[in-house]
A and B are shown apart, each in its own frame.
Chain A
Amino acid sequence: MRRMNNGSTNILEIENLTTTLRIPGGKVSVVEGISFNVKAGEKLVIVGESGSGKSMTINSILQMVPDSLIDSYKGIIKIDGENILEMSKRKFKDIRGKKISLVAQNAMTSLDPSYKIGKQVMEIYRHNHKKASKEEAKKETLILLDKMGIKNPEHVFHSYPHELSGGLRQRVVIAMALTGNPKLIIADEPTSALDPTLQLQILDLLNEINQKFGTSILMITHDFGVVSYFADRVIVMYAGEILEMGTVDEVINYPLHPYTKGLLKCIPDLSWLDKEDKIEKRKLSSISGEVPNLAKKLTGCRFAPRVSDIPEDYHESSPKMHKITDTHWVRCTCYQYYLKDSIAGLEGVK
């Protein structure tokens, strides 16, 4: 299969998306005013802690928030140029699986325990290819399982989900997501339930799919290690908002938002292992406080209550996204506090 070259087209465009849920005694916006694109062939990772709204973002894109919970979606979600929020349910059904599909988080619970693997993959395959005969579907399924790096596809085909290891199950789930040759795969923490060595294998597999088929991947994770290993670009979410967005290099090496900085410092530093004995390991820093409860009305900068080292006047009352470079954006002007020194340095040169 050929590698797609038109890197500039957007598979997914999200503009000003706000997702509101109904909760006992009111409404709550779990995603508020987020905008981002996923380009063709790109690997974009959304990183955030629990309650950041990252899961709700992908549930909004897939329209999978349960009817009993959803109050409204506002904004635009364009998949391949078409706004799905203005689309009929029937039409959106045709897009699911074919243009966009999901790799579920927990492969253990995401496969139907009552059917054999082959039957399940074939069912989705035949759903996406209505004209395919049973024999064709079986052939394609086996090919697909083989492509997923499954050593014995025949055996897996005839196995029940509980008979497989976690890694194999995750590969099956990825195969299901690929049955319709989608342009975009949304991966919901696909490796967080796996052991580190398996995590690496699955990430490599997704990388390979991205390389070979040119499939764009939108992944969510809570692990910056995964971000640095896998992503082209990264979005940092917190309390339903995007706080920072940029290429992996920009966000990891030049983080601007205090939250991003804090998160990065929470990751243990391993470089002391290579150094001389005398060099002490860097103390693990942490962010004080906890993620805010969205059910309570939040005003102003949602992260401000957890920052102590930035003077009040650097906080905006209602922070907006500020453009730093073409790709690097950050919410709130507090980043200027950190830039202060370097800016002063630059002015000195002038």
Chain B
Amino acid sequence: MTEPLLEVKNLTKIYGQKKNLLRSGNQVLAVNNVSFTVNKGETFGIVGESGSGKTTIGRMIMQLVNHTNGDILYKGQKYSEFTKESAERFKSKVQIIFQDSGSAFNPRKTIGSQIAYPLLKKIKDRKAVLDEVIKFIEMVGLSKEMAYRYPHELSGGQRQRAGIARALILKPELLVLDEPVSALDVSVKSQIINLLENLQKKYNLTYIFIAHNLDLVAYFCDRIAVMYHGEIKEVGSTKQIYQFPHNPITKKLLSSILTLDGRYKVSN
């Protein structure tokens, strides 16, 4: 029934350089021996406070950062054993949406051209690419004129929609959502979340949702990993975690959620 899409095994990341004569050791253990599995079609949440290592995990899944130890497997194949073709295929099947839409686009290129370039590598027919770009721009709820605008001419919400269009244009299977709405206003935030939900159904997408606000995670995710200081403290279904948290860190995080009726009540 559940088919694992991405498996993370004993993943470790150490930043910084080793101590030597002129350098006091400034190594940081950003991610420490982390394991989890993301199943096809689900939304997997990674929550934690700033500095918990959640963003680094996202970057490692995207291969933007190399991992120090451990393995990541996509459809059962280890990253370290990718051939040139499988690496190429992987790149189009796994995409990312960044937190700060303001800096995630090149300020000196039009939105349209930036959505187009992943596609231009595969299709040489410029007209077909343009049609496809317009199709995706309209699908995320933007008007097609936006393709000709520069990033600073769009609002934060519009830019994040454009970011989604860019991530989807290669028809990926897995999307890493790196705090995609935390910089947005409340009303825009829910617009984007709704859009992501609809797209998930439409394209049968798998999401890895990285966030620090636990109310949204509870709403959006099927399963959750709670991170603290580079380690996963607890993994489980949303209901399990929110109703019967085991780890004190999880309990602390949950009890800091402010709902409309005051603090979220954690059962002990």
Residues of A within 8 A of B (CB): 49-50, 195-200, 222-226, 228-229, 252, 262-270, 273-274, 277, 281, 283-288, 290-291
Contacts and interface: CB of A to CB of B under 8 A. Distances in A.
Interface in B191-232: 191, 193-194, 212-216, 218-220
Nearest to B188: A290
**Chain A CB within 10 Å, residue with most, of B49, B50, B255, B260:** B260
A144 B243 CA distance: 40
Given A225-B260, A226-B258, A284 B253 contact: no
Contact of B194 (A197, A199, A284): A284
A268 B258 contact: no
**Chain B CB within 10 Å, residue with most, of A198, A200, A226:** A200
Contact of A270 (B212, B242, B252, B253): B242
A231 to B, nearest CB: 11
The main secondary structure of chain A at its interface with chain B is loop
Contacts of A223: 186, 258
A128 B112 CA distance: 56
Nearest to B241: A273
Contacts of B215: 225, 267-268, 270
A281 B219 contact: yes
B241 to A, nearest CB: 9
A262 B242 contact: no
Given A196-B213, A290-B155, A262 B262 contact: no
B239 A273 contact: yes
A263 B188 CA distance: 10
A29 B186 CA distance: 23
B8 interface: no
Given A50-B185, A263-B186, 9 more contacts: A195-B212, A196-B258, A225-B259, A228-B258, A270-B259, A273-B239, A273-B242, A286-B190, A286-B193
Given A273-B242, A284-B194, A266 B189 contact: yes
A134 to B, nearest CB: 35
B260 A222 contact: no
B253 A197 contact: yes
Given A264-B260, A290-B155, A222 B49 contact: no
